[in-house]
Amino acid sequence: MNAAVPYLDLAAQLRPIRAEVDAAIARTLDNNSFCLGPDVAQFEKDFARFCGAQHCLGMNSGTSALHIALLLLGVGPGDEVITTPYTFVATSWAISYVGAKPVYVDIDATFNLDPALVERAITPRTKAILPVHLYGHPCDMDALLAIGKKHNLPLVEDACQAHGAKYKGRTVGTLGSISAFSFYPAKNLGAAGEGGALVTNDAAFAARAKSLREHGSTKRYHHDEVGFNYRMEGLQGAVLGVKLKHLAQWQAGRRRVAARYAELLAGTPLQLPQQADYAESAWHLYTVRHARRDELKKFLDENGVGNAVHYPMPLHLQKCYASLGYQPGDFPVAERASREVLSLPMFAELTDAQLERVAAVVSGFFHKHP
């Protein structure tokens, strides 16, 4: 009987750092800094340094960071934001939360916004471009930034899946005006609960974001504008501070896994993820493609190989966005991807035996169903 291979094994990640995490949690409990506090402040400094950015503001989620980013840019009712239909829904939530309209543009072979299609979607109402570094693979930022510059449109990077990914050697999250990261537990850098961050090089944006996340105030019980309770919890800052020290090593582990999959799966009919020549992926997900995805998924399920579909339905076809009026066929590349993608187990602690087991089951599927 072959052992099951989990899709994700957070316990394996925690085991070697458990004492450090426990100590950080105990420190927070002892100093009672539950909302923001010194551990969050230290993490903000450390994560800003990690990104090579001037400012980082800890938030309670990546969704909140995206929301604040669009508020900072003055996006509001009647405005349009160009974005991808092929992402986790929270990217579009931010646009909806400020009362603006998501305008979708199809993706390219990297699963990211296709820069060649962006310009024709710009209207006088367009206020920003919101690309996503999906699966940890950077967007073609120079192409997008050139369009932004030409039309005077700021870029917000959704870097929620892309901690430490590099575009032409530069860390993503510092290339646009503002970026958002998620520390949802399954992310490359995950909290022990919800968490996120807004990253920017603009001091004025950072100052206003700091106020907006804390009830629109810089002085207690004095509220300059309507704000939010989007503060990062002290416990999350403490846990993230510990985990950030290990991130480089975990990233190396993910690169090892991706490279090993590339060797082990090379002879199969699967379409494997490729890195564009400008990209150093964070390998948040290892997402393969095949026309018979659903059968393959069932086979992996039956044989104890964890897997997931990111994402089965593009956002333009979601019920919540029916009022936007999009139809099936509007974004053929995204729609086809949603039928073909399958994410295989991807985490730093995967052993060679586990990777070989995944590959053996995948090969078994194609032998059984040639």
Residues at the interface with ligand PLP (CB under 6 A): 61-63, 87-88, 90-91, 132, 158, 160-161, 182, 184, 196
Tell me whether residue 137 or residue 357 sits nearer to ligand PLP (CB atom). 137
Least distance CB 291 / ligand PLP (angstroms): 25
- The total of other beta-carbon atoms located within 10 Å of residue 212's CB is 24
Least distance CB 367 / ligand PLP (angstroms): 34
Answer yes or no: are the C-beta atoms of 52 and 252 closer than 8 Å: no
Tell me whether residue 338 or residue 354 sits nearer to ligand PLP (CB atom). 338
What residues does 57 pair with on adjacent strands? 198
Nearest 10 degrees: Cα torsion 129, 133, 134, 138: 130
Least distance CB 63 / ligand PLP (angstroms): 3
Tell me whether residue 126 or residue 182 sits nearer to ligand PLP (CB atom). 182
Tell me whether residue 281 or residue 354 sits nearer to ligand PLP (CB atom). 281
Least distance CB 85 / ligand PLP (angstroms): 12
Answer yes or no: are the C-beta atoms of 115 and 140 closer than 8 Å: yes
Tell me whether residue 24 or residue 160 sits nearer to ligand PLP (CB atom). 160
- Best CA proximity match to 157, nearest among 94, 204, 105, 106: 94
Least distance CB 302 / ligand PLP (angstroms): 28
Tell me whether residue 17 or residue 186 sits nearer to ligand PLP (CB atom). 186
Tell me whether residue 232 or residue 355 sits nearer to ligand PLP (CB atom). 232
Residue at shortest CB range from ligand PLP: 62
Answer yes or no: are the C-beta atoms of 178 and 72 closer than 8 Å: yes
Record the tokens describing residue 127, joined without a space: 């206020």
Least distance CB 244 / ligand PLP (angstroms): 16
Record the tokens describing residue 295, joined without a space: 């059968």
Answer yes or no: are the C-beta atoms of 326 and 92 closer than 8 Å: no
Nearest 10 degrees: Cα torsion 225, 159, 166, 14: 110
Residue-level length of the chain: 370
Tell me whether residue 87 or residue 126 sits nearer to ligand PLP (CB atom). 87
d(CA 30, CA 45): 22
Least distance CB 156 / ligand PLP (angstroms): 11
d(CA 76, CA 125): 10
Tell me whether residue 91 or residue 177 sits nearer to ligand PLP (CB atom). 91
d(CA 333, CA 117): 12
Q: DSSP labels for 83-140?
A: E-SSS-THHHHHHHHTT-EEEE--B-TTSSB-HHHHGGG--TTEEEEE-B-GGGPPP-
Answer yes or no: are the C-beta atoms of 130 and 83 closer than 8 Å: yes
Least distance CB 195 / ligand PLP (angstroms): 7
Least distance CB 217 / ligand PLP (angstroms): 23
